[in-house]
Amino acid sequence: MKITILQGAFLPVPALRGGAIEKAWEALGQAFAQKGHEVTHVSRLCDGLPAREKIGDVNHHRVKGSDAVSNTWVLKLLEFSYLLRAKRILPEADILVTHAFWAPLLLPKDRFGKLYLHVGRFPKGQMKLYKRASRFQVPSHSVAQAVIDEIPARENLVSVLPYPLGWRVPENKALKDRPKRILYAGRLHPEKGVLELVKAFTETPHKERKDWVLQIMGPWRKDQGGGGQEYFAAIHKLAKKYKAWVQVLDPVFTTCELKEHYQEARVFAYPSLARRGETFGLAVLEAMSCGCVPLVSELGCFRDFVVPQRNGFVFNSDSGDIVDNLRTELRQMIDARNDLEVFSKEASRAAKNFEIKDIATSYLDDFSKLLA
């Protein structure tokens, strides 16, 4: 079949600036093409990438986009212009996958393929406007329920299919052979709970955490989805007081570099506080595939692969003191010792269910159902 993937206006593909949605569909596009399907990937033109090229078996077309801004109305206007430019180069296809806000409103029904709407964020009332969508695909059950709440009469069009791992689960070295390191890798933004993580770690009694190091890594600039200079400065100031135990690293975006960091950590902490923003947690799954034991908040999106006291640790961010709750789980994690080895193996085993080959097949089966 002919498949077009239309990304949003603000991040390029390949995912040179990160982005879970961009990374996931980049990997899925290659997997579809390797299975013999004709795939065209449309994304933002920037960072020296050519307007057209072929990567692997996928044809990439790029059009001018924009850096993200904080003003919602300006953001939508920028994406509107991007979509008009993208519309001019969209090929005829059987399936058109997109998460662009305006696509289900501006693109003619079925002209560029059955509209396969990827809902990668919690909806904010717009689902009922998308009459032309043939499918509402969501990455987790928590997002599925939010979509169904908006369009209960179209519940049968909602499909839960997760993001895939961008690699096969590797052979990982035992935790005892890794440094006692806790890693956070992701956007440095208040909704991610990064400052709370640093506070919880540094407020843990020194005699308990003395052999452990916390590493914080990710983009902080607003045009990269971060919390900006002021938030980064607050993290850096606190880390500087405990520089032997808290390290702030430059962000990395390539698969190879990320895997290296995951495979040198024992624990991956992702204390997201974004109740209406966190939809899957691909970074957590990636770290689990490399044998890291996850420490996450109790948000619904993590329940699809993190099981408390079996393959990870979960803290309550909904009530009580968040820093105190997080510190309690940190102390339990440190006290777990040999049990962490068991958790690590279970984490890798859980991640194996999300390898690209099987996930891509599930998407293709869903496409075929639409076309049937």
Residues 201-245 have pLDDT tens digits of: 999 998 988 899 999 999 998 878 889 999 999 999 999 988 889
The top-level CATH class assigned to 175-353 is: alpha beta
pLDDT at 164 over 90: yes
Q: Which of these ranges, 107-111, 135-139, 261-265, has the smallest mean pLDDT?
A: 107-111
Residues in the chain: 372
User: Count H helices, E strands: the chain?
Assistant: 12, 14
Q: How confident is the model at residue 54 (pLDDT cuts 50, 70, 90)?
A: very high
Mean pLDDT of 339-366: 95
Would you state the pLDDT for residue 277? 74
Q: Summarize pLDDT for 282-332 with one digit per residue, the tens.
A: 899 999 999 999 999 999 889 889 999 999 999 999 877 999 999 999 999
Q: How confident is the model at residue 28 (pLDDT cuts 50, 70, 90)?
A: very high
Alpha-carbon gap, residue 10 to 79, rounded angstroms: 8
DSSP codes, 171-227:
P---GGGS-SEEEEES---GGGTHHHHHHHHHTS-HHHHTT-EEEEE---SGGGT--
Instruction: State which amino acid sits at residue 308.
Output: P
Q: What is the SS3 assignment for 110? A: strand
pLDDT at 197 over 80: yes
Write phi, then psi, for 233 (nearest 5 degrees). -65, -35
Would you state the pLDDT for residue 254? 83
Residues 65 and 44: beta-carbon distance below 8 Å: yes
pLDDT at 5 over 80: yes
Q: Summarize pLDDT for 335-351 with one digit per residue, the tens.
A: 988 889 999 999 999 99
Chain mean pLDDT for the chain: 93
**pTM for the predicted model, two decimal places:** 0.83
- Domain 2-164+355-371 is of which CATH architecture? 3-Layer(aba) Sandwich (3.40)
Question: In sequence order, what are the beta bridge partners of 268?
Answer: 183, 294
Would you state the pLDDT for residue 338? 80
Question: In sequence order, what are the beta bridge partners of 2?
Answer: 38
List for the chain the helix, strand, coil content (%; round to 5): 40, 20, 40
pLDDT at 161 over 90: yes
Is there a common fold for 2-164+355-371 and 175-353?
yes
Where are the chain's structural domains?
2-164+355-371, 175-353
Would you state the pLDDT for residue 166? 81
289 HSE (CA, 13 A, CB side): 23
Scored b (16 or more CB within 10 A) or e, 1-37 reads eebbbbbbbbbbbbbebbbbbbbbbbbbbbbbbeeeb
